[in-house]
A and B are shown apart, each in its own frame.
Chain A
Amino acid sequence: MSDFIVSIGLEVHVQLKTKTKMFCSCAADSQSPPNTNICPVCTGQPGVLPVKNEEAVLLGIRAGLALNCKIEKFSVFERKNYFYPDLPKAYQISQCELPLATGGFVEVNDRKVRLTRAHLEEDAGKLLHFIGSEPVDGSLVDLNRCGTPLLEIVSEPDIDSPQLAFDYLKTLRRIMRYAGVSDCDMEEGSLRCDCNISIRRSEDEPLGVKAEIKNMNSFKELKDASAYEIERQKKLVEGGGQVIQETRLWNSSKGKTFSMRSKEEAADYRYFPDPDLKPVYVSAGMLTKEKEALPSLPLEMKKKFLSRGLSEYQADILTDEKVLADYFDEVIAGVTPDGQEEAANIVISYLLAEFDQSALSLEELKKIVPPVHICELVKLRKEGKINKQVLKTIFPKMVKDGASPRDLAGDVDIVSDESAIIKLAEEAVKANTSSWEDYKSGKEKASGRIVAHVMKESRGAADPATVMKILKRMAGKC
């Protein structure tokens, strides 16, 4: 099989986290019972007019800034005309010629995926099909989602593998969530993605004819669908065929893409500037406001954590979600430089483990286990006052009732007190006289029994290394 260069471009729709819809004052909440968040405007009643939602424009600007785009001072809403029952006006208000943001890039695995543009538009409603069923035999339309604001982010065809497509989308989602512009939940539809795929034999050739793939409902489906489509195109070309420009639908149960319509059948959307809306003017004030509202982004946080001695792996995990990154950022502010890796360990191995088991959100967990408690743990560990066993014992308690580690460590009485361990060791020696003699005479292994006794009596709280140290001293070995 000869090699091909793969070019993938992604069109990603993110639902902006506004209180109200793009052009009316209905709540932007598509999860409510059908047709409860609707009004004359978003149901396309005769005579209604759209009015821009300033919050959506601001979030669009912030998203554009987070994606390194140029924010256009002047952009225009246009009408994209087509008939469908989930589109009440029979046109979608979108941006075509003059989008809100242009250019930009996303850094993924040390690669730069360039962006073409990011523009604002309104979402359509949803069709619910009940064909052949009772009591409704047909399709019903829910217009709750209709008119909710979207940002469409279009990439250049810089992506050369399904894995990079996958990573790009993950990174994009992470950035959007950090920036607070969208929940980007694929299951709830606040993140949607189409991709354009083409192949060619060498860099010298122009881009091949592309196929557009729709209907991918998860990150894995994006990866699977693009992998399938690349193979399909390769086989086609190697068999002497030609890729045709078309839209294909991914069928996840069959694991294949199927042709939906060819270029010839594609709709002519008859775009033109919407005469009901004034252009979007982005003032210097709006730009400043959004620059200020933009928090540190994942890459920036990762670089910061790496500089504090964390591993790639740790930094990746800790920057996956903004709330976690912020949490850890607070933790490292409260520990000494030599404790930062330990802090990362505690957060990843204990806090996240608890989080996985719990029904709480990270925000809620943060209220129970504030970052300062992690700092205390790190300090106790550094001071040798608690060991791993104690950590394991007390962490669930910290999560259970929000107790501070210092208090919990006090409960497990022997922990910090070496004299307590000496006392336990002396008792253990008395209870295991033959082992003690063996040990003293040079059988190192014989210490196991005595250490086990101490551990048992201390309910696991004693540090085995400390016990060994004490035994050695008692045996006069040091």
Chain B
Amino acid sequence: MSVKENISSCIERIKRDKTNSFIEIFEKRALRKAEGIDSRLASGDRNLPLAGEPVAIKDNMVIKGEAAGCASRILEGFVSPYDAEVVTRLENAGAVIVGRTNMDEFAMGSSTETSAFGPTRNPVDMERVPGGSSGGSAAAVASGLVPYSLGSDTGGSIRQPASFCGICGMKPTYGVVSRYGLIAFASSLDQIGPFAKDMDGIEKIFNIIAGKDEKDETSREIEKLSGKKGKLVCGIPKEFSGSSPEVKEVFDKAVKKLSRDFEIIDVSLPSTEYAVSIYYIIAPSEASSNLSRFDGIRYGFRAESEDLIDGYFKTRGQGFGDEVKRRIMLGAFALSSGYYDAYYMKALKVRRLIKNEFDSAFQKADVIISPTSPRTAFKLGEITDPLSLYLQDVYTIPANMAGLPAVSIPCGKDPAGLPVGFQIMAPRARDIFLIETAKKFEAVFSNE
């Protein structure tokens, strides 16, 4: 089968999708690119590690000549004049980007319900959310529409949906994947990463997208060293204890299985207690500034208005959804003069503490493990209170705060048949080691 035929049938599958995973299929472009790959293959090009592989990207990564919108009305009509670095790297490796996937508006949410394009459903149970904010990318892989997709993870937005949908998702070390072309939510936390059904798939995509990019000052190389000799030590933070009984049971069983081959110890990360609180200072603060450029002047949605100031109010008032506006206001407040020291500065200090605590925990443990989310996928509309939604990310946010690489892999199902995700965190820049370890754990969990 040619790449073009393969992509064509992939697109047909996506068209029949009932989960609302995709916002747009790049049909023309994908078929054109597929033809290009076919002729490169025909001419003997062997330098295409992802030759013809369909990949979906979250709606916050840009492709030249295509729309990108963060599932927001405010970017209505925006067509990117340039390619994101991850897009360039994937396409250079022969991958074909088939479309952009649904998400919480500007990646602000844990359920993909704040999208301006309607919620995405969880293919495991259509009444339930796929998690978020990268819910579309997770659901697209879980329902077999595409083998791989990219998401972005600011506080758990890759790992939590991977957990809810029963697939693998990885948030690399901060900076290991270039953010150039990722529409920013919270710049010091955002990180692009892959979804796949298994860790082999994660590794395949990771190897292509990782590495220093001159266009992103905060990007870096990964450390190529792999694991250590001897028995691997897994630390469980005793503070990560707020799981539902169902999640706790599945997780404990998984740990028990691991304990046959690996050493399990307790570690302590006392300051992670504040991780969610400071996340909701740091992320909205950065977002309030990052999202200021959406003013209706150069691109995207522009409301009819009387004058300049009126235009700002109306464009942003009508263009952003409630959750986005809530966070912009939170952030603008936290940064305002007179409050900056009490909120933003203090949050940065706590962030430093969390980092240090992880560093000392990694003196004792090679990896730190926990459930990915304190609960399994909830029903659409079930959690409406923002604060309860914010608490969904309690286990995932700490890795973003410390810039650590982390994955979520499936480790079993609860009595209702809903997947439970298993989170593994490793020291900074030890992404290769993390992937190797996750593969070992994956083998243990799937052996039963």
Contacts and interface: CB of A to CB of B under 8 A. Distances in A.
Contacts of B295: 83, 85, 90
Contacts of B335: 81, 270-272
Contacts of A49: 179-180, 215-218
Contact of A45 (B82, B182, B297, B308): B82
Nearest to A270: B335
Interface stretch (B28-36, B73-81, B222-230): B73-81
Contacts of A278: 217-218
B146 to A, nearest CB: 22
A444 B193 CA distance: 105
A46 B75 contact: yes
A46 B293 contact: yes
A47 interface: yes
Given A46-B62, A48-B180, A91 B289 contact: yes
Given A40-B81, A51-B217, A270 B332 contact: yes
A46 B289 contact: no
22 contacts: A44-B293, A46-B62, A46-B75, A47-B179, A48-B180, A48-B181, A49-B217, A51-B216, A51-B217, A81-B288, A81-B292, A81-B335, A83-B312, A91-B292, A270-B336, A270-B340, A272-B285, A272-B286, A272-B289, A275-B187, A276-B218, A278-B217
Contact of B289 (A43, A48, A88, A270): A270
Given A81-B288, A276-B187, 19 more contacts: A43-B298, A45-B299, A46-B80, A46-B293, A46-B299, A47-B179, A49-B180, A49-B215, A51-B215, A79-B289, A85-B297, A268-B336, A270-B288, A270-B337, A271-B340, A275-B186, A275-B187, A276-B217, A278-B217
Contacts of B344: 272
A-B pairs with the 9 shortest C-beta distances?
A90-B292, A275-B188, A270-B335, A275-B187, A46-B183, A47-B181, A47-B183, A40-B82, A44-B293
A440 interface: no
A46 B68 contact: yes
A117 interface: no
Nearest to B78: A46
Interface string B72-92: 000100101110100000000
Nearest to B300: A46
Contacts of A81: 288-289, 292, 335
A88 B214 CA distance: 22
A47 B180 contact: yes
A89 B337 contact: no
Interface in B274-297: 285-286, 288-289, 292-295, 297
A366 interface: no
Interface in A262-316: 268, 270-272, 275-278
A45 B218 CA distance: 19
A45 B294 CA distance: 9
A89 B75 CA distance: 15
B345 to A, nearest CB: 9
Contacts of B293: 44, 46, 88-90
A373 interface: no
Contacts of A268: 336-337
A275 B286 contact: yes
A88 B298 contact: yes
B61 interface: yes
Nearest to B180: A49
Contacts of B182: 47
B434 interface: no
A370 interface: no
B184 interface: yes
Interface residues of B, number: 44
Interface residues of A, number: 28
A51 B178 CA distance: 13
Nearest to B308: A85
A271 B332 CA distance: 10
Most buried by B among A52, A272, A277: A272
Nearest to A44: B293
A52 B217 contact: yes
Contacts of B84: 47
A43 B297 CA distance: 11
A125 to B, nearest CB: 11
A50 interface: yes
B105 to A, nearest CB: 14
B304 to A, nearest CB: 14
Contacts of B81: 40, 45
Contacts of A43: 298
Interface in B168-192: 179-184, 186-188
Contacts of B187: 275-276
Interface in B350-407: none
A40 B63 CA distance: 13
Contacts of B82: 40, 45, 48
A235 B70 CA distance: 58
Contacts of A48: 82, 180-181
A50 B179 CA distance: 11
A91 to B, nearest CB: 6
B23 to A, nearest CB: 15
Contact of B340 (A45, A47, A272, A275): A272
A373 to B, nearest CB: 50
Contact of B292 (A47, A50, A83): A83
A277 B217 contact: yes
A47 B286 contact: no
A50 B214 CA distance: 10
Interface string B328-346: 0000100111001000100
Contacts of A47: 60-62, 68, 80, 84, 179-184
A46 B182 CA distance: 8
A271 B82 CA distance: 29
Contacts of B217: 49-52, 276-278
Contacts of B78: 46
A400 to B, nearest CB: 53
A51 B298 contact: no
Interface in A50-103: 50-52, 79, 81, 83, 85, 88-91
A456 to B, nearest CB: 76
Interface in B216-253: 216-218
A124 B214 CA distance: 24
A141 B218 CA distance: 31
A278 B220 CA distance: 12
Contacts of A52: 217
B272 to A, nearest CB: 21
A160 B14 CA distance: 74
Contacts of B308: 85
B148 to A, nearest CB: 21
A47 B81 CA distance: 11
A102 to B, nearest CB: 21
Nearest to A90: B292
A141 B295 CA distance: 14
Contact of B214 (A40, A51, A85, A277): A51
Interface in B24-77: 60-62, 68, 70, 75
A53 to B, nearest CB: 11
Nearest to B179: A49
Nearest to B282: A275
Nearest to B60: A47
Contacts of B332: 270
A40 B83 CA distance: 10
Contacts of A141: 297
Nearest to B213: A49
A118 to B, nearest CB: 22
Contacts of B180: 47-49
Interface in A11-62: 40, 43-52
Contacts of B183: 46-47
Contacts of A83: 292, 295, 312
Contacts of A91: 289, 292
A271 B84 CA distance: 28
Nearest to A45: B81
Most buried by A among B285, B298, B336: B298
